[in-house]
Amino acid sequence: MPSLISAEIQQLQDAPVLGRDVPVANQSGAKYALADGRKWVWKRKLAIGAHGMLAEALGWLWSRALALPVPDVAVYLPGEFTEDCWLSEVVDDVRHWSADRVPVENLEQLGGILALDVILMNADRHEGNILLQPRIEQEREVWRLWGIDMGNSKVGVVDEFLEMENSLPSIAKLPDDLPFEILRDPALEAAKEIAAWGGPFITKSVNEACSVAGSQDSTVLVDALKKRSAAGVALVERYFDKLLETT
Amino acid sequence: MSGHYKIIHFLPDHFSGERIPVGAVVAENGSVNVVLADRTPGPECLGSDATYMLLRDTLDELRQLTSLERLPMSIGPHFEMSEASDLPALDGDAVSWLRQRILPRAMEKPSSSRKRGPSRSSVGLDYLRQFNVARYVKQFRPKKDLHELNGASESLPAISQGVRGANQLLLMEPVIPTRRQLDKDLKTIGTNFFAYRGAFQTHPIDTDVDLIAYVTPGGNASIRSEIVARLGESADRVYDVTAMSARKDLVNLVATIGKSGDDLLT
């Protein structure tokens, strides 16, 4: 059972100092930024919308509850749409997913990330949202995988999400060189873990995410996510069946 | 003026502003070429083994560029291409000019501490490790591991990976499409496989031996196809593991043969 302690997303007191643009296409005006002595990727609420903030926040809270590899996050919320922002800590030295980088020491955790994508309806898991970080472990070169950017998950667009019921996210953007056959079991394990969470954690995480995003939809979203989580294992099974048929 | 070029910069840290030119892409007379700098910073200069690993591995990937338009998305945020510049009128070729006049040049006395990338064998083993079959794989030394040939195995070359089954032996060579010495690798693998074929014709053995090459992910489709074609005669089977069906076949084969060998021991 994940933590029920409130407010896991760090709220910054001071405005971030903005740097250069993140040099990757389609990043919603993302910039590098410094805040609290740390390095971040900054996205303005004005650019990603309240739905983007909600999806990012919920995606991060659930990722952390599953102990998935996602960077630390923070928000700066002075209360103005133009100033409110979402920050994701910079992961040093990263490149994007490519199957030729081996070994990936935590590859199986990508299964959990995909399970979360299924349940929260994130169809945006392209190669740029799977980071690989080089590491030297006991004099051996390895890569560590990180998942980023849940901002386009349909869970953030609550009205649409309520209508999705048992829909699956599109697989069109997934890198076709992912080894889906070895990610299926870890994905199903993650889905089972989510199904076992129960109401208190879902309620608490949705409340926190809605608070960060300034959304009033927490009650209906809690109900929808309880149903979606309960159906999660079946959804993930169908998703992987589709992936393994297609690739 | 007959073409233009873009410089590829490595940005070790997005906050320091440091930009290191590590290569260039040049388009001239309808063809695109990549030139990498003779000199790139080492781990001491970059301050981190991990940062150096990122640079070193990505340089191999940059060699495969076929377009001046943009870097592939997989390269990630630590590499950027400059705006295009026109080539000046040149007596020689543009690649040499870029290497000698624009990009950082090698020291006259090369450093003896230059770090090398991982070996072909270890990259292959790391790949198989992800599919939980690496434990069946051992480096294959014919003198020690091919007892069936008795003394005739002494002249045979080592093979990167061997999987010993109950009555089957897989001799496997991983091929890394992005390696600088790919052409040499293919020649070596082809020659070595033919040496084994010759030995088994002269000294037939009861064990069923498969000579297998597998192409690890990376590189572009045309290079991968060329690898498969070039090894087609010397190898019994060549697997391009970017296809899930080929990957599954390879992994299942290693697991099945390896497990039969384990069962024999128990």
- Regarding an ipTM greater than 0.85, the answer is no
The number of C-beta contacts closer than 8 angstroms across A and B is: 106
B14, B118, B130: residue with CB nearest A141: B118
Place of tokens 């992987």: A240
**For residue range A75-89, what is the model confidence (pLDDT) as tens digits?**
999 988 789 999 999
pLDDT of residue A139: 79
Tracing tokens 């100092």 back to the chain, one arrives at A17
What residue of B is the nearest CA neighbor of A18? B15
The answer to whether the CB atoms of A136 and B49 lie below 8 A apart is yes
Buried residues in A151-168 as b, exposed as e (16+ CB within 10 A): bbbbbbbbeebeeeeeeb
**Mean pLDDT across chain A:** 93
Q: What separation in angstroms does the CA of B219 have from each of A93, A208, B263?
A: 21, 44, 38
Q: Has residue B112 got a pLDDT over 50?
A: no
A67 touches chain B (CB under 8 A): no
Q: Identify the burial level of A18 via C-beta atoms within 10 angstroms of its C-beta, where 0-12 means exposed, 13-18 middle and 19 or more buried.
A: middle
Residues of A within 8 A of B51 (CB-CB) are 92-93, 134
Rg of chain B, C-alpha, whole Å: 22
Q: Is A180 on the interface with B (CB under 8 A)?
A: yes
Q: Are the beta carbons of A155 and A54 closer than 8 angstroms?
A: yes
- Confidence (pLDDT) at B265: 61
pLDDT band at residue B266 under the 50/70/90 scheme: low
SS3 B214: strand
Per residue in A50-102, pLDDT (tens digit) is 999 999 999 999 999 999 999 999 999 998 878 999 999 999 999 999 998 99
Q: How far is B156 from chain A (nearest CA, A)?
A: 30
Please work out, in degrees rounded to the nearest 5, the angle formed at the alpha carbon of residue B173 by the alpha carbons of B168 and B179.
170
Q: β-pairing, B208-215 with B168-175?
A: parallel
Cα–Cα distance, B237 to B231 (Å, whole number): 9
The structure's pTM equals 0.85
**SS3 assignment, position B171:** strand
- Can you give the pLDDT at residue A226? 96
Hey, are the CB atoms on A102 and B50 less than 8 Å from each other? no
The predicted pLDDT at position B114 comes to 45
